Amino acid sequence: MPSRLRPTASVAADAILVGDPGRALLLAQELLEQPKMSNHARGLWGYSGKTPRGRELTIQATGMGGPSAAIVLADLAKLGVRRAVRVGTCAGADPETRPNELLLVETAVATGGSAASFDLATGAAVPPDPVLLERLRQELGGEARAARVASLDALRPSAASVPAGAAATDMQTVALLARGRELGVAAAAVLVVVESASGEASTEDRVEPVVKRAGRAAAAILST
């Protein structure tokens, strides 16, 4: 049985994962017909229902940080999840990455102490599932830029801790991709930039439509 989640409704084999419980609700209302709350334990809100295409889909919050995300994914795997797409947020790490930009994670780089729990050395690269990556690339087309993203244990890392070539940083993608590989769950990620490297931040009203677009893309490729 799962260790953290306490589902009160069925969990689908396909899932969209978000860090923020509020965004789980946002995407459930955007993507599901008559969504039902499938988990509220530990504040990790989850919702299940059918997409307009008639496919079962779960949208689950994972909390903050890599360890929390990895634990939630392990519980979801026990409940039958076999494919997952992270729809998350990130901060720019180079001058070209701007707020509200959509990044398709082509490679996630391990940076931070928690990476060791996945047997990853600092600087190790973890790829997403190639099938999900290609489907997301086709679905999003020119709306998203393929990027190398570094996952760290800090919200605002020092410039010296960000590996060369990283377009952005986040706190969960490496954990989800690495744990998914261990669990046999195909995983990929698409991220919304909420802050530039210089500290220019977006606002929730501008981020929300981009999150919804990423969610629609994830739901579309999980419906095939």
Q: Give the whole-angstrom CA distance, residue 125 versus residue 210.
A: 26
pLDDT at 122: 85
Q: Locate the domains of the chain by residue range.
A: 14-222
Per-residue pLDDT tens for 173-222? 999 999 999 999 999 999 999 999 999 999 999 999 999 999 999 999 99
pLDDT at 158: 66
Per-residue pLDDT tens for 128-137? 999 999 999 9
CATH number for 14-222: choose from 3.40.50.720, 3.40.50.1580, 3.90.120.10, 3.30.300.30: 3.40.50.1580
207: number of Cβ within 10 Å = 18
* b/e per residue 169-178 (b: at least 16 CB within 10 A): bbbbbbbbbb
pLDDT at 202: 95
Per-residue pLDDT tens for 88-97? 999 999 999 9
Higher pLDDT, 161 or 24: 24
Q: Give the whole-angstrom CA distance, residue 130 versus residue 188.
A: 8
pLDDT at 159: 66
**Which of 149-153, 159-163, 171-175, 190-194 has the weakest average pLDDT?**
159-163
Q: Would you say residue 167 has pLDDT above 90?
A: yes
